[in-house]
Amino acid sequence: MSEQMRIMRSKELPEELRDRIVARHRSGQGYKKISQHMCFMIWFCFGLFCSCELILFLLLTGDGMNAYMAYKVSTQTSLTMFHSKTFTVRRRFSDFLGLYEKLSEKHLQNGYIVPPPPEKSILGMTKVKVGKEDPSSAEFVERRRAALERYLQRVVSHPSLLQDPDVREFLEKEELPRAVSTQALSGAGFLKMLNKATDAVSKMTIKMNEQDVWFDEKIQDVENEEQHMRKLHVMVESLVNHRKELSGNTAVFAKSVAMLGSSEDNTALSRALSQLAEVEDRIEQLHQEQAANDFFTFSELLADYIRLLGAVKGCFDQRMKAWQRWQDAENMLQKKREVEAKLLWANKPDKLQQAKDEIAEWEAKVTQYEREFERISATVRKEVIRFDKEKARDFKRQIIKYLESLLNSQQQLIKYWEAFLPEAKAIA
């Protein structure tokens, strides 16, 4: 980073300029275009829209069944809309769900892809609350923490959602009013909401006359991809389980070899066998770590994207709803015109004015709904393109991370076996 750039980043933009930039961004321009128009250096504007970094930590507060997990959300940012550069707040799981509820209420109908939160899990949480000290609880806790972290990161990396004051409040505000109606937004609730939209769509009697074949193709792609991803997810879960099994069986085998070694009466062979037992013990560790990688790097990525693809489908459904609204308005307008025609023919001048008023009302609605439909179509299109880019980036990053974990594991394996080889050769 050049000296100049660093200096510029520390200066705050004048408010008027900031507003202009934000306004342009809201209208759908990317930062590159904006900077071209505003004649600013690209990296300066990047500083403005640079996502915040969040980390979540855990603490368990309260006792017994009233205990709840509190998450410390730490944000680091250079964005000027926040009160400071680093800040930490405490949030509960229901707060995250509450955030989703607020965001989806506002933005879903405009065709935005609102990232879905992780699902509620009564069983998992109960075990933790009761203080069960087993590895599955620890895993559940970490799983949830990581999922919430990824959820928030997706929210803040969405340029429009980041501007939402509810997001800012969530990240900054000391105390948040307790979100109560989050029942609807637990896993089952979320699905129910999506299904309602889908039901509305399937009840449509007229098939949508798709002007833009892009949408037809895209929704099909999304459906296919979701199906394939579900299958892949099942297989990765199978891998996680088998690797855990392998880890367990390796540990058991190691013990057995150690016993065999102690029973062996040839000294050198006895030592080699106990060394073999140690190697197998270390390999068991490797398998365990790899299983965790299989899960957190690969499996959870797929779980996230299955939920996200559901959200994308929801987006398309919203567009359908908007289209339906427009069509319904067109039908109503048509009906009103028919009424007017009838009145003219029946020569009832007093009712005619009312009819004319209603026609004007519905003409306005038709225009409004048509415009809304076009706007939502544009938003959906933009959102999907952005989503695809992020998905490609996400997968690439995670795949590389995952392959690197496998690589590390294999390199360790070589080290262990190479250390054992002289022991095997020493048998006489």
Partner 1 sequence: SFFPPKLFKRQTLCDMIPLVHSVSVDLNNDASLVIDIPDALCERDKVKFTVHTKTTLSSFQKPEYSVQRQHEDFIWLHDTIVETEEYAGLIIPPAPPKPDFEGPREKMHKLGEGESSMTKEEYAKMKQELEAEYLAVFKKTVQVHEVFLQRLSSHPMFRKDRNFQIFLEYDQDLTVRRKNAKEMFGGFFKNMVKSADEVLISGVKEVDEFFEQEKNFLLDYSSKIKDATAKAEKMTRSHKNVADDYNHISGALNNIAADNNTAFKKHLEKCAEVFEKLRKVEDRMASDQELKLTELLRYYTRDIQAAKDLLYRRARALADYENSNKALDKARLKGKDVAQAEENQKQCLQKFDKLSESGKKELTSFKARRVVAFRKNLIEMTELEIKHAKNSVSLLQGSIEVLKSN
Binding stretches for partner 1 (CB under 8 A): 221, 224-225, 228-229, 231-232, 235-236, 238-239, 242-243, 245-246, 249-250, 252-253, 256-257, 259-260, 263-266, 268-269, 272, 276, 388, 391-392, 395-396, 399-400, 403-404, 406-407, 410-411, 413-414, 417-418, 420-421, 424-425, 427-428
Closest approach, Cβ 412 to partner 1, in A, equals: 9
Closest approach, Cβ 200 to partner 1, in A, equals: 27
Cβ contact 32:159 at 8 Å: no
> What separation in angstroms does the CA of 179 have from each of 96, 161, 185?
9, 19, 11
Q: Which amino acid, residue 298?
A: F
* Backbone phi and psi for residue 10, each to the nearest 5 degrees, phi listed first: -80, -15
Closer to partner 1 by Cβ: residue 51 or 409: 409
Closer to partner 1 by Cβ: residue 51 or 398: 398
Name the CA dihedral angle for 34, 82, 8, 53, rounded to a multiple of 10 degrees: -90
Closest approach, Cβ 392 to partner 1, in A, equals: 4
Closer to partner 1 by Cβ: residue 305 or 369: 305
Closer to partner 1 by Cβ: residue 229 or 339: 229
Question: What SS3 state is found at 73?
Answer: strand
Closer to partner 1 by Cβ: residue 42 or 403: 403
DSSP H/E element including 199: helix 187-202
Phi-psi region of 115 (alpha: psi -120 to 50; beta: other; left: phi over 0): beta
Closest approach, Cβ 421 to partner 1, in A, equals: 5
- Tokens for 25? 């961004």
> What separation in angstroms does the CA of 380 have from each of 146, 167, 264?
28, 21, 71
Closest approach, Cβ 31 to partner 1, in A, equals: 21
In 294-348, where does DSSP find H-type helix? Answer: 300-346
Closest approach, Cβ 386 to partner 1, in A, equals: 13
Closer to partner 1 by Cβ: residue 342 or 396: 396
> What separation in angstroms does the CA of 288 have from each of 142, 274, 291?
15, 21, 5
- Tokens for 309? 């693809």
Phi-psi region of 287 (alpha: psi -120 to 50; beta: other; left: phi over 0): alpha
CA-nearest of 261, 379, 267, 363 to 318 is 379
Closest approach, Cβ 265 to partner 1, in A, equals: 5
Closer to partner 1 by Cβ: residue 41 or 419: 419
Closer to partner 1 by Cβ: residue 56 or 276: 276
Closest approach, Cβ 278 to partner 1, in A, equals: 13
- Determine the distance from the C-alpha atom of residue 121 to the mean position of all C-alpha atoms in its chain, rounded to a whole number: 17
- CA–CA separation, 81 vs 356, rounded Å? 49
